[in-house]
Structure 1
Amino acid sequence: MTRAATGLPFDDIRNLLAGLPQADEAARATARARTRDLAVPEGSLGRLADIAEWMAAWQANPKPAVTRPLVAIFAATHGIAADIPGADAHATHRLVELFAAGGAAVNQVALQAEAGLKVFDLALDMPVPDIRTEAALSEAACAATMAFGMEAIAGGTDLLCIGAAGEGGRVAAAALAAALFGGRPADRTDDSDFASGAVAAALATHEGHLADPLEALRRVGGREFAAIAGAILAARYQRIPVLLDGFVVCTAAAVLHRLKPGALDHCLAAHCSGEPAHARLLEELGKEPLLRTGLTSEEGAGAALAIALVRSAAAIHCGMATRSQRWSP
Structure 2
Amino acid sequence: MNFDDTLDNARKFGAAAAASLSRYGIAPTPAAYAVWYTYHAGHIPDLVSAIATIIAAGNGPTDGDCESLFGRFLSGTAEAKVVEDTSFALQEALDIAVSALRDASEEANDYADILNKTSAALKSSSLSSVPLHDIISALARRTAKTVTHNLQLQGRLQDSATELQTMRSTLASVHLEANTDGLTGVANRRRFDTVLRNEIARAGAENHPFSLIIADVDHFKMFNDTHGHTVGDQVLRSVAGLLTSLVREGDTVARYGGEEFAIILPGISVEQAAATAERLRASVASRKIIQRGSGTPVGSVTMSFGIAEYRGTETAHSLIERADRALYAAKAGNRNIVCGVNR
TM-score by length of 1: 0.24
Point out which structure has higher relative CO (alpha carbons under 8 A, 6+ apart). 1
Structure showing greater Rg: 2
Bigger share in helix? 2
TM-score by length of 2: 0.23
